[in-house]
Chains A and B, each alone.
Chain A
Amino acid sequence: MSTVAGEMDHNDHHHHAPSGITRWFFTTNHKDIGSMYLWFSFIMFLVGGSMAMVIRAELFQPGLQLVEPHFFNQMTTVHGLIMVFGAVMPAFTGLANWMVPMMIGAPDMALPRMNNWSFWILPFAFAILLASLFMEGGGPAFGWTFYAPLSTTYSSDSTALFVFSVHIMGISSIMGAINVIVTIMNMRAPGMTYMKMPLFVWTWFITAFLLIAVMPVLAGAVTMVLTDKYFGTSFFDAAGGGDPVLFQHIFWFFGHPEVYIMILPSFGIISAIIPAFSRKRLFGYSSMVYATAAIAGLSFIVWAHHMFTTGMPVAAEIFFMYATMLISVPTGVKVFNWVATMWRGSISFETPMLFALAFVILFTIGGFSGLMLAITPVDFQYHDTYFVVAHFHYVLVTGAIFSIMAAAYYWLPKWTGHMYNETLAKWHFWTSLISVNVLFFPMHFAGLAGMPRRIPDYSLQFADINQIVSIGGFAFGLSQLIFLAVVIKCVRGGEKASAKPWEGAEGLEWTVPSPAPYHTFETPPEVK
């Protein structure tokens, strides 16, 4: 994808990108690895997406039409696992690989060989996870949250494969995060002080910290599931003095910071794109940094809001309710800053900006429904309904995924040296925007009316709403093929992109030619 542009002259012996398949197997180049991460995540997005299509096809009509309930459960489980660990997280790691070294004026990541190791673990981890679907008794069918005793007493034989594939995914994430955090701490160009770093770098800095802190806790949780199921321990079994709720505490101690791992880099992306297309500096840079840190800090003390109906003591419920609501303060600061950045700006609406605007509005809807879910007494009604499904898809699809799309459009010219096709990209945006709302907005109503999540059948009164939702789902799925077409066209050719194709864009990545040379900064640039 990246060839060396003539303008940049380096005297290095590995000056040109090596050719052949071993380039990708043996590479230590952050751009190669970033590209592999991004392609891998897109493939996983399509795999996980086709599982969602199975789910929506089954739910198109009440009753059981297409698949067995046990297979339906495997689809909801593996859809979640793939989208979280296979699509969103690797996409952000890919973006970090591509952009962080360029943004801070570094030649590459701090630990380039470990970087390649982190990536190549992922295909093996997901091959094992997907292979377990074809085993006798089926694959994981306990939901991506793998609550005990569903994952211990009642799970299929193949659970051990799930456990070990999560272990190696975790190893990959931790190594990737250590790489990012060390790169940011140690590889900044002279003059690039912490408070001059672009917000994408800041948000990834904090994300990497969260990853290193909580992925090991996930490893602990799956280890206890493994020993409970296969080695006779009773961490999650009351007969042995354990407690199934203990599983939920450990899982969500990982799981809530994990949610922010999937959204903080989005904040960084949006904070780059909105100023660029508003032709104004970002409003409130330092408040953005502090808000990100505050969100990350709070993420460690709110986990039990996922567990309001487990019978915790009232004092704990109230603590977790207020702690959770506190998060809306720094999040509100961010949304305010984005809007204030646009205020009286000279705005143009290229595709990255359109996705960024959709992000601001739709992520905020997801934030508001999150606030509703944080209120303990009403959560008893919302818990485990489609309202929850609507909520986390608003923050993850129109939040995280939309920001990844925005990032891809924004930086594609830098990656490929070509402009993408704006007409086709606008088609992608508008079809996605409309279909995603047809898909997820009615779920709020189904949920409030009492439709439970993760069940292959439903009561007749939900038939109309589910048909609308399914049609939205199929349309959203198809729309993503347009994105694939845009990217392939852009990689293969198109109008030549200048070093800085976006008039209002700022940052070191726009000071190098497009496509960015194979090795970017071999001598550090001076940052004023």
Chain B
Amino acid sequence: MAQQHEKYYVPASSPWPIIGAIALGLIAFGAGHTVIDMKNEATDGWGVNVLLGGIAVLLVMLFGWFRDQINESMAGMYSNQLGHSYRQGMSWFIFSEIMFFAAFFGALFYARVIAVEWLGGAGNNAMTNEVLWPAFEAHWPLTQTPGGTESGAMGWMGLPLYNTIILIVSSVTCHFAHVGLEKNNRKQLTIWLAITIILGCIFLYLQVAEYIHAYEELGLTLDSGIYGNTFYLLTGFHGMHVTLGTLMLIIMFLRVIKGHFTPEKHFAFQATSWYWHFVDVVWVCLFIFVYIL
């Protein structure tokens, strides 16, 4: 094993990390003030400007950092060991994302199984229902809250079902692209990757259409109680992840066209593909627990 890595690779110092920290600082500060201004209906809008500035710095940072990274990688500076580190790092990152979604799924299960039932008088909570919310009967989807807000519920037929099929198919096409890369079949890689991107975009388009339908026809908004809350936050965060995943796929597509990646070395592609499968699995859970059950 000693011969295998006689010399370790330690990357040279870089300005991008601290620029990234400045970006996150601006984003946090700007986002905080934007939200506060929205609540107070203040209109001077400097919070938004800080937020947008922070996002701009973040984009510059990501561009610069990845450019350096790609150049170093193409120059063959990276050892196999670093490739392992990247792969493990990405796996742990995806695990942290799973735990983020777990918090919201946990809230959904708690609301459904415990909070709403108790408000309806289950367990030893008869008096909670009698005294505090006498008109309330527990039901799910919660189309009428204890406070009296009413909304429609989102069924699983139609758009959600189409979206499920689209995303599952896109996971398969992404895999075909990966197989193409591993077999050094660039044509297979390019075509299947392009199809995956198109499917991702269709998914996002349909998701927006679904939101418009929910808001305008069902009256299901962020204000309509725990059912709407869990629906929007779970599907919303998932949609943000699909957006990010689609952008990553587009960058991979541009790199593939430029001739990057070899059957042996293609960490960025692999990471993107893992991420894409991950958002797919989250959607399947969403489809089961948010829409069907």
Which positions in A face B, CB cutoff 8 Å? 14, 18, 22-23, 25-29, 106-108, 110-117, 119-121, 123-125, 127-128, 131-132, 157-158, 160-161, 163-165, 167-168, 171, 174, 177-179, 181-183, 185-187, 190, 212-217, 219-221, 223-224, 226-227, 229-235, 238-243, 245-246, 249-250, 253, 313, 519, 521-524, 526
Contacts and interface: CB of A to CB of B under 8 A. Distances in A.
Contacts of B43: none
A186 B88 contact: yes
A212 B226 contact: no
Secondary structure at the A interface, as helix, strand, loop or mixed, is helix
A242 B149 CA distance: 13
Given A234-B229, A241-B145, A161 B222 contact: no
15 contacts: A25-B15, A27-B13, A29-B13, A107-B10, A113-B11, A114-B17, A116-B18, A177-B92, A178-B93, A182-B88, A234-B147, A241-B111, A241-B145, A242-B115, A249-B110
B11 A124 contact: no
Given A18-B13, A186-B85, A235 B226 contact: yes
A239 B24 contact: no
Contacts of B103: 216-217, 219-221, 250, 253
Interface of B: 1-2, 5-8, 10-18, 20-22, 24-25, 27-29, 31-33, 35-36, 38-40, 65, 81-82, 84-86, 88-89, 92-93, 95-97, 99-100, 102-104, 106-107, 110-111, 114-116, 118-119, 123-124, 132-133, 142, 145-147, 149, 221-229, 233
Contacts of A29: 13
A181 B17 CA distance: 20
A157 B17 contact: no
A216 B32 contact: no
A253 B12 CA distance: 39
Given A161-B36, A241-B119, A249-B106, 5 more contacts: A28-B13, A120-B20, A128-B28, A231-B222, A233-B233
Contacts of A128: 25, 28-29, 32
Nearest to B51: A164
Contact of B96 (A161, A182, A216): A216
A161 B32 contact: yes
A241 B14 contact: no
Given A116-B18, A168-B25, A186-B88, A227 B229 contact: yes
Nearest to A247: B107
Nearest to B227: A241
A300 to B, nearest CB: 11
B80 to A, nearest CB: 11
B28 A164 contact: yes
Contacts of A238: 115, 119, 132-133, 146
A313 B126 CA distance: 14
A160 B17 contact: no
Contacts of B147: 234, 239-240
A124 B25 contact: yes
Contacts of A212: 92, 95-96, 99
Contacts of A23: 13
Contacts of A521: 8
Given A106-B8, A190-B2, A243 B110 contact: yes
A175 B261 CA distance: 26
A526 B2 contact: yes
A216 B11 CA distance: 28
Contacts of B228: 233
Contact of A230 (B39, B84, B116): B39
A186 B9 CA distance: 13
Contact of A110 (B28, B85, B133): B85
A221 B132 CA distance: 26
A241 B96 CA distance: 28
A391 to B, nearest CB: 27
A154 to B, nearest CB: 14
Contacts of B102: 216-217, 220
Give the most central of A178, A212, A221: most B CB within 10 Å.
A178
Contact of A240 (B11, B24, B95, B229): B229
A245 B133 CA distance: 17
B227 A28 contact: no
B40 A157 contact: yes
The 3 closest A-B pairs by CB, nearest first: A220-B103, A124-B25, A239-B147
A239 to B, nearest CB: 3
Contacts of A179: 89
A317 B187 CA distance: 61
A111 to B, nearest CB: 6
A18 B99 CA distance: 40
Contacts of A217: 99-100, 102-103
B5 to A, nearest CB: 7
A185 B88 contact: yes
Contacts of B31: 160, 164
Nearest to B104: A220
B10 A227 contact: no
A249 B114 CA distance: 12
Contacts of B35: 160, 226, 230
A213 B21 contact: no
Give the most central of B99, B124, B147, B149: most A CB within 10 Å.
B99
A23 B111 CA distance: 51
A524 B17 contact: no
Given A25-B15, A240-B147, A240-B225, A121 B107 contact: no
B89 A182 contact: yes
Contacts of B111: 235, 241-243, 246
Given A28-B14, A219-B100, A239-B146, A224 B107 contact: yes
Nearest to B120: A241
Given A181-B92, A182-B89, A234-B226, A240 B146 contact: yes
A341 to B, nearest CB: 32
Contacts of A233: 222-223, 228-229, 233
Nearest to A23: B13
Give the most central of A25, A116, A120, A238: most B CB within 10 Å.
A238
Contacts of B227: 241
A209 to B, nearest CB: 9
B247 to A, nearest CB: 19
A210 to B, nearest CB: 11
B204 to A, nearest CB: 21
A115 B14 CA distance: 11
Nearest to A166: B28
Given A107-B10, A161-B32, A26 B100 contact: no
Contacts of A240: 145-147, 149, 224-226, 229
Given A234-B145, A240-B226, A116 B10 contact: no
Contacts of A213: 95-96, 99
A107 B96 contact: no
A20 to B, nearest CB: 11
B7 A241 contact: no
A164 B32 contact: yes
Contact of A121 (B21, B110, B115): B21
Given A117-B21, A524-B2, A157 B36 contact: yes
Contacts of A220: 100, 102-104, 107
B107 to A, nearest CB: 6
Contacts of B85: 110-111, 182-183, 186-187
Contacts of A190: 1-2
